[in-house]
Structure 1
Amino acid sequence: MEIFYYLVFGGLAAVVAGLELGKSGKDRVATPTAFNAFKNNYVLVYSLMMSGDWLQGPYVYYLYSQYGFDKGDIGRLFIAGFGSSMLFGTIVGSLADRQGRKRACITYCITYILSCITKHSPHYRVLLLGRILGGVATSLLFSAFESWLVAEHNKRGYDPQWLSITFSKAIFLGNGLIAIIAGLFANLLADNLGFGPVAPFDAAACFLAIGMAIIMSSWSENYGDQSEGKDLMSQFKVAAKAIASDEKIALLGAIQSLFEGSMYTFVFLWTPALSPNDEDIPHGFIFATFMLSSMLGSSIASRLLARKMKVEGYMQIVFAVSAFTLFLPVATSLLVPTSSVKGSGISFGGSLQLLGFCTFESCVGIFWPSIMKMRSQYIPEEARSTIMNFFRIPLNLFVCVVLYNVNAFPITVMFGMCSIFLLMAAILQRRLMLVADLHKLSTKSQDMTAEDEPLNP
């Protein structure tokens, strides 16, 4: 493997270690023992849930191909997963608010374990069922756990600022370190120990079962709006009304969809972008490098949040930088000569793109705890899970369209589109900051007026 990859990985590892070890008092927040125990419990559960997800990632496509399915069949399986998340996401989100977020988290574990079990079957319909179950589980993973955390944090009376500590730590471990370890462990099971590509799915089911046991034994239940007569359709109406009546929520949903849509498109496109002429690139090592970049981003985010930096302000810069990095494939295709040698090492243009993609992954690491912080501020508690899954409808629709047309457009067009979306996210983020500031000024003015009224005759 070329030394370039080791230099990038080693450089990122040194920076991450330096940031974590070099934290000053300004970068740390003193918190009581009770909160630390609560935070560590959630981070442990979240890490187990994400390990169950990350273990599967590197081998899903490969397993389907080993069962003899072609690219079109596999594409339809992936579309089934995202389509399921789009169709059933709002339903399970609403049920989580009404029936309990703890129950929804347990349901996630059971649903994803069943999805893992279906991977043992070579039959297309069984695998299709597994993708549908996986789509439902994904909706719960990205809504129920966060909703439970925010509600439980507030119920216990902890400082709202401390939420960002839990978010940052969960993303640093669950979306960074755990992803790297899970990728290496999956490779050990499937290749080194010779258990085959289905072994990582069995391991994922075990980790999910352990996490479910911890949830059942240590978590309390919390709910959204449990008003009498509030059926599923009423929950939808409450969520839709909240989005339509509050510009801050609508902007937040649009920003999330634009960024995550670009992010999931990047997941499909980074491999052909780095190896347009079938260059020999170490996919697993590059994936680990991306996850290390994400850890770098979450470490930066924890510092920004600890110093109470304005999320709405610095995220404008993050989105602008993201737009630039995903425009690099377009720029390099125009400015950097491409190699015509098949199967060679990574090209100069590919090396530039890899550095840009690592920067993008760092932006992803900043994005997750920051968007969680904004959601905790702007989304009303009574319909939190429902609204969060409403946000995922345009995201999943977009990804389904991309998957269906992935061969219809040149890769540069796809990256150019993502770059435009990220610029739009930066503009909307600016608008969100202005609206939020106006709302704060208006609320402060009303409070001052209310205090002065008794003094006037």
Structure 2
Amino acid sequence: MFVGVFYGLAAVCGLLYFYTRSATETNDDPQFKSFQRTYLIVYMMAVAGDWLQGPHVYALYESYGMSKHQIEILFIAGFGSSLIFGTFIGSIADKFGRRNNCLMYAILYGGACITKHFGNMPVLMIGRFLGGVATSILYSAFESWLIFEHNTRGFSDSLLGTVFSNAALANSLIAIISGVAAQFVAERFGFVAPFDLALSVLLIMGVIIMNTWPENYGNEKAPIKESFEKATKAIKEDPNVFCLGLVQSLFEGSMYTFVLEWTPALSRAAGDVGIPHGYIFAAFMVATMIGSSVFKLLQQHERPESFMRYVLLLAAVCLSMPIVAPDNLALVFGGFLVFEMCCANLLAINGLSTWHICLRRDSLDDVESLQNPAEPHRDLHSLAELCNDLNFQILRFLPVRRFHRSTRSIFKNRAHTTSSKVANHRH
């Protein structure tokens, strides 16, 4: 069923993509083409190193005999380290070099992959910590390097949009391919094999960065805490920033809870039949691409803020499937796929809202803000990670667990997750 659904969704996704895609500016300048190629090659390998790890994290921990509680703790450690370091990792990149920070991403995430060979809780905890820090770098340093280099080389602002558009498409395609590749190697060499493949990709990426990327910096003289102080001030002064951060954090809290729970939910619904984690993950990523195309269609008729509430309601209904029909594999899997489509819509809406707020605050009017992407967004991400942490803690201690044991017909399962942070995660 899972493989058939994946290929069916892929066909629908392809049709929707070509129907909704918009024209992007092209440029025959060989210097721009070379610059874009240099960035995209590295970026694709960076996200591949992340996406390859997504499908089998839970399954690997489970194969080592970890209890559900231990697995929850490991996930919390990853999100917690991202929370702690995500607030100032961008400033560190500005001060010590974005190229160096991207190299550090390869080293840290590669180290996290190595720890997956050990079924030892402390070692795996170190791996989660390294992975959390690496994720913070992935979503800050690479983009910052691109924007600075683009402006320094004098390319037009519209061409920057072309690079971002191509990067977004590449990210989606890499996520899908990574799911299939992870399934392929896991079936032949075990659950740890996708992490070895990710390690290889990250090492190659590091070598390419060292040989093709120049170093660039932000405000080297500014104190590391300065950007965080500015972000805090923005939240205090503008209620819209606070409300957006709150909505985004609550949504991402549910999304990352889903990341933790999709494997056990589908495994329970499938019974004794094993599930193809890689194909399921790839199907989730295809669903995300479909959601992005649907968002473009909806945006033509209504303002995103007007249909956001309905998307949130639909997402909540989808996550209730493991509660109301825990043994119905089709309903649970279908609910998760629609939830991923909703995630794509909500992430796009949050991104647009953040952009509009930054424009209103004139944060994009000076050159420095173009070279140092909007700091409030970094802090909103950190707020979301804090909500994730609290969300997991609440799930661990709610009495619903005891109630769940005594009323199996109603609460036999709770929602379970997909390795996309988002889109990703996200992986």
Which residues in structure 2 correspond to 1:45-124 (within 5 Å)?
45-124=42-121
Is residue 363 of structure 1 aligned with residue 333 of structure 2?
no
CA offsets 1:254-285 (integer angstroms, 9 cap, x no match): 45434433322332344566677555665543
Structure 1 residues 158, 260: closer, same or farther in 2, change over 3 A?
A: farther
Residue deviations 1:391-427 (CA, integer Å, cap 9, x gap): 2222111112222333524779998xxxxxxxxxxxx
1:200 corresponding residue in structure 2: 194
Q: Flag the 1:124–1:338 CA change in 2: closer, same or farther, 3 A.
A: closer
Q: SS at 2:62's partner residue? A: helix
Number of the residue aligned with 1:393 = 382
Partner of residue 142, structure 2:
145
Partner of 2:213: 219
Name the CA shift for 1:221/1:298 in 2 (closer, same or farther; >3 Å): farther
151 and 41 in structure 1: CA distance in 2 versus 1, 3 angstrom threshold: same
Q: Which amino acid aligns with 1:346?
A: L
In structure 1, the partner of 2:159 is 162
Q: Distance in 1 between matches of 2:98 and 2:160?
A: 17
Contact 1:224–1:381, Cα closer than 8 Å, also in 2: no
* 1:213-239 CA-partner distances (Å, limit 9, x unpaired): 222222223322223xx3323443344
Q: Counterparts of 2:247 and 2:144 in 1: how far apart (Å)? A: 19
* 1:346 equivalent among 326, 329, 333: 329
Relative to 1, partners in 2 of residues 1:399 and 1:50: Cα closer, same or farther, differing over 3 Å? Answer: same
Contact 1:75/1:404 (8 A) holds in 2? no
Letter paired with 2:395: V
Larger radius of gyration: 1
User: Residue by residue, what CA displacement relative to the aligned partner does 1:144-187 show, whole Å, maximum 9, x if unpaired?
Assistant: 1122222222333333333333223222222x221222122222
Q: Distance in 2 between matches of 1:162 and 1:39?
A: 10
| Amino acid corresponding to residue 196 of structure 2 in structure 1 | D
Q: Which amino acid aligns with 1:257?
A: S
Structure 1 CA distance, aligned partners of 2:343 and 2:234?
32
Is residue 402 of structure 1 aligned with residue 391 of structure 2?
yes
Q: CA 1:198/1:413 → structure 2, altered by over 3 Å: closer, same or farther?
A: closer
CA distance change for structure 1 residues 102 and 130 in 2, over 3 Å: closer, same or farther?
A: same
2:254 to 253, 256, 262: 262
- What root-mean-square deviation, in Å, do the aligned CA atoms of Structure 1 and Structure 2 show? 3.7
User: CA separation in 2, counterparts of 1:338 and 1:74?
Assistant: 24
* Alpha-carbon offset, residue 333 of structure 1: 8.4
Q: Which runs of 5+ in 2 are unaligned?
A: 405-410, 416-427
Please give the secondary structure, in 2, of the residue aligned with 1:85.
Answer: helix
> For 1:311-343, what per-residue CA distance to the aligned partner results, in whole angstroms no more than 9, with x for missing partners?
xx7542563353132122477689xx848xx6x
- Distance (Å, rounded) in 2 between the aligned partners of 1:373 and 1:158: 22
Task: Note if contact 1:139-1:389 (Cα within 8 Å) is conserved in structure 2.
Answer: no
Deviations 1:1-59 (A, max 9, x none): 37xx73x54443233323444578x6332334333332333222121111111111122
- Alpha carbons 2:56, 2:278 under 8 Å: kept: no
CA contact (8 A) 1:94 1:235 kept: yes
Distance in 1, matches of 2:307 and 2:150, equals 28
By how many angstroms is 1:207 displaced?
Answer: 0.6
Matches of 2:329 and 2:290, distance apart in 1: 24
Read off the aligned partner of 1:319 and give its amino acid letter.
M
Q: Which runs of 5+ in 1 are unaligned?
A: 416-457
Distance 2:375 2:383 in 1: 14
Q: Is the 8 A contact 2:93 2:101 kept in 1?
A: yes
Kindly provide the amino acid, as one letter, of the partner of residue 320 in structure 1. R
Q: CA deviation at 1:293?
A: 1.8
Give 1:358 shift. 4.7
Matching residue's letter, 1:162: L
**Distance apart, 1:82 and its partner CA:** 1.0
- Identity among equivalent positions (%) equals 39
Whole-Å separation in 1 of the counterparts to 2:8 and 2:315 = 21
Equivalent of residue 296 in structure 1, options 285, 290, 298: 290
Q: One-letter code of the match for 2:102?
A: C
Query: Cα distance 1:315–1:262, how it changes in 2: closer, same or farther (>3 A)?
Result: farther
Match of 1:432 in 2: none
Comparing 114-123 with 349-358, greater Cα deviation is found at 349-358
Partner of 1:134: 131
Deviation string for 1:409-446 (max 9, x for gaps)? Answer: 4779998xxxxxxxxxxxxxxxxxxxxxxxxxxxxxxx
Distance 1:52 1:338, change over 3 A: closer
* Structure 2 length-normalised TM: 0.77
1:112 shift after superposition? 0.9
The answer to which of 368-377 and 352-361 deviates more is 368-377
Q: 2: distance between equivalents of 1:104 and 1:11?
A: 40
SS in 1 for 2:26: coil
Partner in structure 2 of residue 444 of structure 1: none
Provide the rounded CA distance (Å) in 2 between the counterparts of 1:205 and 1:55: 9
1:368 CA drift (Å): 8.6
383-392 or 211-220: which moved more?
Answer: 383-392
2:118 partner amino acid: S
The answer to whether the 8 A contact 1:261-1:395 is kept is yes
How many residues align? The count is 392
Matched, 1:236 2:228: yes
Instruction: Tell me how far apart the structure 2 counterparts of residues 254 and 35 of structure 1 sit (CA, whole Å).
Output: 39
Contact 1:118 1:130 in 2 (8 A): yes
Aligned to 2:419: none
